[in-house]
């Protein structure tokens, strides 16, 4: 049966908007990976122009009329198809209503400032000088507060920003969750073992690149639909169907930094690849459900898989070959223990899977107070350093290893950080359910590096669902229960027992 013309018309306009949003993603990716330094200012104007254009299309009254006509025409469809169409238009209207609250000139300004801010952040970090970035960061904070006011909120401005990443989430609820989690993590950190770096010497970037280039395809992300590059901060982005980009960064003294960066970002791109495979892509419901779910996919491949014994039993000989090492120079047990070592570190992206959540809680507390006006930008280094001393017992020596270490605030992404820990909670729950349904999966992992059962399970239970359900419903359908942090705590306790026996 052919679709009613009103549905065809609405989707044609929606897909034009999506097409140009992907064009903006190309411009962003290029600016982080390939663009010469002198192109930054003009590139920011290009990005701002595309952002304003797509915003105008989204908020135009004619598009609203198309959506309303499409909704009326759903009655012409067979009853079995109506529910999904209603959900599609419901999701779109939520997105549109949010866009309607933002003036076009604000959208353009925000896109331009964040693109300029990234280069200034990178330079400030390189120079270990927060003051050189503080003026721009103050501008970003004020823009984010204005954005919160446009969106509206009941309790606090931070809630409005948080909702953009995790729909319906509230800061006070997350505070309770994180406080309970922190209470459970502290004794785990106290008993978790630390192991020394076992690499016999520096490993060249060339050798690391050779090994890292193997990883995406091993997990299921082929070179025909992806590429791996270098950037200041690892990230992944989808440029459209069949085009997923991932980046990492390299440390010659600790190759695990690049390896786990690739595993993490590959997890993101596998999710985007699964969404792109949904029927009728692109539509409003073939998008990622929430950043917490997105992060669950990256953290699952990074931790539950990437730090597992079966995974390293398979890739260890390959790593030795690519790094031109012998098993005597890099013993398997020493490597595996180091992979699962626990140590309080200053930098989030280098943190182990146990202390990582403490880094997120610290950032959540700071940015919540910043957006709510309880602290000022000029005081951030002092506040950051004090919290690091309190939570980790570590002294921050410079701004690069302190308040400047993350890219997120230069992107204006206030409210993003909590989704990392939500992702850790979700990923542990997903993986536990998978292993219950596929108890022999570890043998396939270690014997021949076959991760297809896991990828197919994720495709079926998470990726193919897109935005059809809310987070709680998705979690219940996939695992049989609502999100529960007990699975993360159980996983971390189990990991300690595994590496110390």
Q: Which residues does the annotation mark as catalytic?
A: 265
Angle CA 34–39–45, to nearest 5: 115
Q: H or E segment at 227?
A: strand 226-230
On whether the CB atoms of residues 112 and 43 are closer than 8 A, the answer is no
Phi-psi category of residue 373: left, alpha or beta, with phi > 0 → left and psi -120 to 50 → alpha: left
Q: Do residues 417 and 367 lie in contact, with contact meaning Cβ atoms separated by under 8 Å?
A: yes
Contacts of 14 (CB under 8 A, 6+ apart): 92, 282, 283, 284
Look up tokens 């107070």; give the residue: 369
* Residues annotated within a binding site for Zn(2+): 264, 268, 295
Cβ atoms < 10 Å from Cβ of 176: 11
Question: What pairs with residue 230 in β-bridges?
Answer: 248
Name the phi and psi angles at 331, rounded to 5: -60, 145
**Would you give the distance in Å from CA 308 to the centre of its chain?**
21
Tokens of 395: 């002294």
Q: Is the peptide bond before 282 cis (omega within 30 degrees of 0)?
A: yes
- Residues whose CB is less than 8 angstroms from the CB of residue 410 and which lie 6 or more positions away in sequence, other chains included: 114, 117, 118, 120, 121, 133, 136, 137, 140
The tokens 């270690």 sit on which residue?
A: 446
Distance, CA of 261 to CA of 253 (rounded, Å): 15
Picking from 347, 370, 401, 400, the residue whose alpha carbon sits closest to that of residue 122 is 400
CB 441 within 8 A of CB 499: no
Structure tokens that stand for 36 in this block: 């010469």
């Amino acid at each position: 049966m052919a679709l009613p013309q009103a549905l065809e018309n609405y989707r044609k306009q929606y897909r034009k908007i999506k097409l140009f949003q992907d064009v903006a993603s190309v411009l962003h990716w290029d600016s982080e990976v390939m663009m010469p330094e002198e192109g930054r200012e003009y590139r920011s104007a290009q990005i701002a122009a595309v952002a304003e254009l797509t915003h105008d299309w989204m908020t135009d009254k004619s598009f609203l009329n198309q959506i309303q006509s499409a909704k009326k025409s759903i009655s012409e469809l067979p009853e079995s198809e109506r529910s999904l169409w209603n959900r599609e238009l419901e999701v779109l209207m939520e997105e549109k209503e949010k866009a309607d609250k933002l003036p076009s000139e604000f959208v353009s300004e925000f896109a331009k400032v964040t693109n300029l801010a990234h280069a200034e952040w990178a330079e400030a970090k390189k120079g270990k000088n927060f003051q050189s970035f503080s003026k721009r960061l103050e501008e970003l904070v004020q823009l984010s507060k204005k954005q919160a006011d446009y969106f509206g909120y009941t309790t606090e401005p931070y809630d409005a920003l948080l909702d953009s990443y995790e729909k319906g989430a509230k800061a006070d609820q997350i505070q309770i969750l994180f406080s309970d989690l922190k209470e459970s993590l502290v004794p785990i950190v106290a008993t978790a073992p630390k192991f020394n770096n076992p690499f016999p010497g520096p490993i060249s970037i060339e050798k690391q690149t050779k090994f890292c280039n193997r990883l995406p395809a091993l997990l299921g992300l082929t070179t025909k639909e992806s590429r791996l590059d270098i950037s200041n901060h690892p990230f992944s982005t989808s440029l459209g169907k069949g085009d997923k980009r991932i980046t990492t960064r390299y440390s010659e003294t600790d190759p695990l930094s690049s390896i786990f960066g690739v595993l993490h970002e590959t997890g993101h791109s596998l999710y985007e690849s699964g969404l792109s495979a949904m029927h009728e892509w692109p539509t409003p419901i073939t998008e990622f459900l929430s950043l917490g779910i997105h992060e669950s996919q990256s953290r699952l491949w990074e931790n539950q898989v990437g730090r597992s014994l079966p995974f390293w039993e398979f890739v260890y000989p390959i790593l030795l070959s690519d790094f031109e090492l012998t098993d005597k120079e890099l013993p398997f047990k020493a490597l595996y223990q180091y992979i699962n070592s626990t140590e309080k570190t200053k930098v989030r992206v280098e943190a182990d899977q146990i202390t990582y959540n403490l880094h997120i809680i610290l950032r959540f507390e700071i940015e919540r107070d910043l957006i709510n006006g309880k602290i000022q930008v000029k005081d951030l280094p002092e506040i950051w350093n004090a919290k690091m001393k309190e939570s980790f017992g570590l002294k921050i020596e410079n701004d690069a290893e302190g308040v400047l270490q993350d890219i997120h605030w230069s992107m204006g992404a206030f409210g993003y950080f909590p989704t990392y820990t939500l992702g850790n909670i979700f990923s542990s729950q997903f993986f536990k359910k998978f292993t219950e349904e596929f108890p022999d999966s570890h043998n396939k992992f270690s014997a021949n590096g076959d991760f297809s059962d896991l990828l197919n399970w994720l495709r079926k239970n998470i990726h193919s669902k897109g935005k059809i359900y809310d987070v709680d419903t998705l979690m219940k359908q996939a695992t049989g229960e609502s999100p529960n942090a007990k699975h993360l705590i159980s996983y971390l306790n189990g990991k300690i027992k595994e590496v110390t026996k």
